[in-house]
Chains A and B, each alone.
Chain A
Amino acid sequence: MQRIYLDSNATTPMRPEVVAAMMPVFTEDYGNPSSIHWFGQQAKALLDNARQQVARLIHAETSEIVFLSGGTEADNLAIRGIAESQKARGRHIITSRIEHHAVMHTCKDLEKQGYEVSWIGVSSDGLVDPEDVRRAIRPDTILITIMHANNEIGTIQPLEEIGKIAEAADIYFHSDGVQSTGKIPVDVKKLNVDLYSISSHKIHGPKGVGALFIKKGTIAKPQITGGGHERNRRSGTENVPGIVGFGVAAKMAREGLESEMNRVRELRDRLESGLKDRIVRIHINAENAPRLPNTSNIMVDFAEGEGLVISLDLKGVAVSTGSACSSGSLEPSHVLTAIGKTPDEAHGSLRFSLNSTNTAEEIDYVLEVLPQIVDRLRELSPYYKRA
């Protein structure tokens, strides 16, 4: 069966160039970058080169890039690191209601430890109003953490404005950039962020690698202590093969950003207009908000998301859903709830997330099979009455 992958906000295939660059690092250039001998220095040079490639992707200095195990660890280091280094100043944190679990559950954990968290709501388009952030600031606020682009609905937050507010109030500003990096231009200086999380496997690099941008002068208390790697910011021997792959993925993401994402946007738009033409009673979430070019989140009336995902999977198409029925907790997606959707509405949600290896033929196949699937499920529904 032909397999079509439209779940790239979950993970992406590695580019062949990434794999090729990694292979010799396993078997030949396998030194420990902390060693002073030839093997160590070879590895150190590879690490430095990758650091430069990753720094360039987000317009950071190389010294501001800390390699670690992925987006989740980056979020943890940023949030816990600032919470701990700034606790003498205050214990109040501002975040949004649509953050990734890595941020949400870290903030919830800090609440249990005596920190206070203000959870900012979003508009029906999934956007944070910077004025809401300004209003939430208190004398004891130490950190604002607002994601750059949302993983489920793709909305892009007004980080520049929030960053200015944070700067004026002298409060650290972190953003989870796991979904935005490699899909839209990112310039950490323009965005006014002090900390910015990125992940390798979302941009066609290997899993188990990520980075945290920590602006010069910012102190995030290390969460993993040991031999003082990564300039004392994250201990543990660096995952050199993974980091080399991450570097190549970052370089290719930067070089291809505009052309690849224009093509991906065209495919996404082809999908959305095609679905609207072929299926009645579907809704596109955050349709008119600033959105990632690769993400489409739709809601289908009278059909349930998990059933849609399984049906598409049986036809070879991989997508995801925010329906309660797909989660172990049986709660619908907190993002869809935050944009005002009822559990019933969230029930029929589907997320398509594309990457530059997808083709128009693949989109057309989805446009052929999904209407039949929706029809079939609606015919089963006791609520559905054919017009």
Chain B
Amino acid sequence: MAYSAKLLDYFENPRCVGEIENPDAVAQVSNPVCGDVMKLSLKIDDGKITDAKFKAQGCSAAIATSSYATEMIIGMNLKQAREVTKEHIADALGGLPGSKMHCSVLASDAIREALKGFA
């Protein structure tokens, strides 16, 4: 499996790892087929994501895409964050093999799940 150097970097040195204390929004999503899981916690202020952290258990692509997406949404307004798709994330990391696309779904699903109760 040929992963890009950028993806491997996010896998080996993931950014935004952890859980935010007293978060404004959280979500945990998992892939029932392969068992990968991602937990996302957010700090939201005045309609903007001011901080985000994640935890994930899964393959290298799942961890890298979770980290990348978490980093990417900091500073976004909620509309922008909801519009993040798995393709955005995968493309930014140099693309993923077809069978691996399900992994990055975790991050975009987690974002939408976390923002459910927000206008």
Which of A343, A344, A382 is within 8 Å of B39, CB to CB? A382
Most chain A CB neighbours (cut-off 10 Å) among B14, B28, B55: B55
Asked if A314 and B59 sit within 8 Å, CB to CB, the answer is: no
B-contact 0/1 string along A302-328, CB 8 Å cutoff: 111011001100100000000111111
Interface magnitude class on chain A: 20 to 34
Within B5-32, the residues touching A (CB, 8 Å) are: 8, 11-12, 14, 17, 28
Asked if A303 and B57 sit within 8 Å, CB to CB, the answer is: yes
Given the complex, which residues of A lie within 8 Å of B85, measured CB to CB? none
> Does A357 lie at the interface of the complex (its beta carbon under 8 Å from any beta carbon of B)?
no
Which of A310, A323, A379, A381 is within 8 Å of B8, CB to CB? A310
> Does B112 lie at the interface of the complex (its beta carbon under 8 Å from any beta carbon of A)?
no
Asked if A324 and B33 sit within 8 Å, CB to CB, the answer is: yes
Q: What residue in chain A is nearest B33 (Cβ atoms)?
A: A330
Most chain B CB neighbours (cut-off 10 Å) among A324, A327, A331, A384: A324
**Contacts A324-B33, A330-B33; is A307 near B59 (CB within 8 Å)?**
yes
Q: What residue in chain A is nearest B11 (Cβ atoms)?
A: A310
Asked if B99 and A379 sit within 8 Å, CB to CB, the answer is: no
Asked if B57 and A330 sit within 8 Å, CB to CB, the answer is: no
> Does B56 lie at the interface of the complex (its beta carbon under 8 Å from any beta carbon of A)?
yes
> Does A168 lie at the interface of the complex (its beta carbon under 8 Å from any beta carbon of B)?
no
Whole-angstrom distance from the CB of A116 to the nearest CB of chain B? Answer: 30
Q: What residue in chain A is nearest B40 (Cβ atoms)?
A: A382
Asked if B3 and A380 sit within 8 Å, CB to CB, the answer is: no
Whole-angstrom distance from the CB of B16 to the nearest CB of chain A? Answer: 11
Given the complex, which residues of A lie within 8 Å of B39, measured CB to CB? 382
Asked if B34 and A324 sit within 8 Å, CB to CB, the answer is: yes
Asked if A379 and B33 sit within 8 Å, CB to CB, the answer is: no
> Does B71 lie at the interface of the complex (its beta carbon under 8 Å from any beta carbon of A)?
no
Which of A310, A314, A382 is within 8 Å of B57, CB to CB? A382
Asked if B56 and A381 sit within 8 Å, CB to CB, the answer is: yes
> Does B105 lie at the interface of the complex (its beta carbon under 8 Å from any beta carbon of A)?
no
Asked if B8 and A347 sit within 8 Å, CB to CB, the answer is: no
Within B44-66, the residues touching A (CB, 8 Å) are: 55-60, 62-63
Q: What residue in chain B is nearest A347 (Cβ atoms)?
A: B35
Query: Which 9 residue pairs are nearest across A and B when measured between Cβ atoms?
Result: A325-B59, A306-B59, A382-B39, A381-B57, A382-B55, A324-B34, A310-B60, A328-B99, A347-B35
Q: Can you list 18 A-B contacts (CB < 8 A)?
A: A304-B58, A306-B60, A307-B58, A307-B59, A310-B3, A310-B59, A314-B8, A324-B34, A327-B99, A330-B99, A347-B35, A377-B57, A379-B17, A380-B14, A380-B55, A380-B63, A382-B28, A383-B57
A-B contact sample (17 more), CB < 8 A, given A307-B63, A381-B57, A382-B56: A303-B57, A304-B35, A310-B3, A311-B11, A314-B8, A314-B12, A324-B35, A325-B62, A326-B59, A377-B57, A377-B63, A380-B17, A380-B55, A380-B63, A382-B55, A382-B57, A384-B57
